[in-house]
Every structure is written in C-alpha cells, then in structure tokens.
Amino acid sequence: MEVYTTNVDGAGISDVPVSTPVEMGGVSVTYFPAVTLGQRFYYSRLMGTALRAHIKKFDVVHTHAQFVWPSYEAGRVARLHDVPLVHAPRGMIDRTLVQQKSGFLKRAWIYGLDRANLEGAAALHVTSEIEKAEIEAFGLAIHRYVIIPNGVDDIEGPVQHAAQGGSGNAPVILFLGRISWKKGIDRLIEALTYVPAAELVIAGNDEEGYRGVLDGIVARLGLADRVRFVGEVSGSEKRALFASASVFALPSQSENFGVAVIEAMQAGCPVVVTPEVGLADMVARTHSGIVCAGGPEVLGAGIAGVLTDREELARMSANAVAAVRRDYLWPRIADQMLRTYAELSAGAQ
C-alpha cells in the first residue's frame, strides 16, 4: 500500500519531506509540493507526473474527498489506465452542503469536471445509507456503492463511564465536533431550556467563526451559567469528557457518518442523535441511545427523558460499548475494505 498526497494542510503548508517516500505506521507516504491558487484550489505538477508514471503498478486506486485536485487527478489517471477506482466523497456530495456554500461551483465540479470519475469508478465508498441516498439524489449513473463505516482504535482495559458529572453533580450533555451550523448546536442550546438543571459542554474548533452566533443564543436565553465552551480537545482530555458526560448529543442537520458518536459509545456514553445522522439507524437498532427530531422542544424532551432513567442509561451504556467492539474497531473495518479491493482487482483482470 502506498499513499500519495500533497503538503497542503488546511490554509497552510506542512513542514514535511516532499517528493520522497516516508514510512508512517508501516505505510509508504509521499508528500508532493503543491501550488495554491486562491484560498481553496491547489495542484501539484510533480504528483501528476508520479501518478502517470506509476499508476499501473497499483491493483486499486482509492481516492478520498470531493472538490480537491489530488482526488480528481488520481481518479482521472486511474481510469485512463484501466486501474479500478474506488472513490470516497466523505460526505461532501450532500444537497444541504452544496446549497449552503459555493453551490454553483460545486455543481459544476460534480456534473462537469468530476462526473466521469464518479460514474466511471468501480465503486463509490460511502459510510452509511444516508450518504448513499444523498449521492443518489444528484441523479448520477453510479456503477456501484460499497458501504463500509469508519472505525476507531481499540482501548485497553475495562470501560468506566460515570452516569453523571459536572458542578453539583448536575447531568452533563456533551457535544464534541466542529463548531459549525450543520451540527445543530444552536438547537441543542435551545433544547437545554427543556432539560432542567443539566449543563451543556461544547467542545470543538471554530473554523467557520460560528461561535459568535452561539454566544448570542446563550445570552438571549440566559444560559451562561449552564453552557461551557472548552475549545478543541484530543487524547486524554477527550476521553475524560466522554467518560464524565451523562449523554452525548449530535443533533446535526446533515451528517454522513458521525465518528464522534462511535467514540462516545466506545466510552460507554449513551448518545442522542437526529435522524439526519448517518449512524441513527445503528443507534436505534443497538439501543445505544435515542433518535429524535432536532426541534428544540422535542430534542430537549428526549434528552430529559433519557436522563431521568438511570437504569436505562446504564443499559444504553453497556449496549454502546458492545456495539463498537463488535462492529467498529479498525481491524474489522480494514478487513471489509481489503475484501472489496481484492474483489475489484480480480474483476479487472
């Protein structure tokens, strides 16, 4: 397995060796120097040259993300040389997201520049039925979908989850993810008015400058003493938040998967999600939490109902841990992906 990428890192450039393979976790990774055009578009002439020179040595090419040059170019070169292409849009082919920002350019990319890759791929890799349905809504002639979820690393030792926490032992509702309009944090804050005494902890980075909008809602509702923003967290700090939260809430308006849901469940934290979250069906099926509509009153009533039944919380916690261990650890996910690669490679011979 080899990885080709560029040295672009968000709005900046990573300080990494370029144009030479680097071993990372037993995998050969090559970063190619990129040229940026404007704020969003970038390309790498050297990456294009390497793709054309070496593409035939690969049995399968797996591209990730939409609206980026490396995925487009790798897909185009793979198709030209009859190498099976697996493309993972990573939730970016979504009607809400396309309509919300740069809609004309995104539709031009989907139906113009990248249509041949999307329709010519041996398979589109999606992480949920919801992501598949969103892509189908665009009316493209997709050859095949493979649904393989994201995973998490195993954690050592028994899971110890506190049923409650926070100041004065008040129940704690946790949100963890990007501070973005699509995550439904605004309606989660409003839902707090229907959950007596609970605290809401909001963890995540504010890439879109949306924090100001949320601060305004908190002030308007008089919830400053019950809502805490803790910024971006990782590692032991993230694990501690999951372990101390009474429930984890992800009331997204659009969410192809929701890996934070899996991370919460792995920590034994019951989850509350909206039907628009890709993992909603799994949450309901495994009884690891509840699925409810995202309106503030309905959402608040759902969270309050869960918090008042300690025995049910304990059952949901145990179910959540078991579901992750059974279905979402990386070895199982990797095995599914490898079987897909083998099947597509054999079919191309």
Determine, yes or no, domain membership for 162: no
| Residue 163 in this model has a pLDDT that exceeds 60 | no
Place of tokens 């504010």: 206
- Closest by CA to 32, choosing from 3, 68, 75, 62, is 3
The stretch 83-104 carries a mean pLDDT of 93
Determine, yes or no, domain membership for 345: no
- What is the reported pTM? 0.91
Q: Which of 38-42, 249-253, 316-320 has the lowest mean pLDDT?
A: 38-42
Determine, yes or no, domain membership for 339: no
Determine, yes or no, domain membership for 319: yes
Phi-psi region of 39 (alpha: psi -120 to 50; beta: other; left: phi over 0): alpha
Are 120 and 190 in a shared domain?
no
Are 182 and 314 in a shared domain?
yes
**159: confidence class by pLDDT, cuts 50, 70, 90:** low
Mean pLDDT, the chain, rounded, equals 94
Are 4 and 47 in contact by the 8 Å Cβ rule? The answer is: yes
Cα-based distances in Å from 278 to 259, 312, 323: 10, 23, 16
Give the count of beta carbons closer than 10 Å to the beta carbon of residue 111: 13
Are 64 and 25 in a shared domain?
yes
Are 127 and 181 in a shared domain?
no
pLDDT digits (tens, 9 = 90+) for 215-270: 999 999 999 999 999 999 999 999 999 999 999 999 999 999 999 999 999 999 99
Determine, yes or no, domain membership for 78: yes
Are 240 and 177 in a shared domain?
yes
The per-residue pLDDT for 100 is: 84
Specify the pairing of strand 289-291 against strand 271-273: parallel
Alpha helices in the chain (DSSP H): 45-54, 69-80, 95-100, 103-108, 115-120, 129-136, 185-191, 211-221, 235-244, 259-266, 280-286, 296-307, 310-327, 330-348
Distance CA 135, CA 300 (A): 31
**158: confidence class by pLDDT, cuts 50, 70, 90:** low
Domain at 188, CATH number: 3.40.50.2000
Determine, yes or no, domain membership for 112: yes
Are 122 and 210 in a shared domain?
no
Q: How many domains does the chain have?
A: 2
Are 226 and 286 in a shared domain?
yes
- Which residue range forms the structural domain that includes residue 79? 2-152
**166: confidence class by pLDDT, cuts 50, 70, 90:** very low
Are 180 and 142 in a shared domain?
no
171: Cβ–Cβ under 8 A, 6 or more apart, which residues? 164, 195, 197, 198, 199, 246, 247, 307
Cα-based distances in Å from 238 to 202, 204, 231: 12, 10, 11
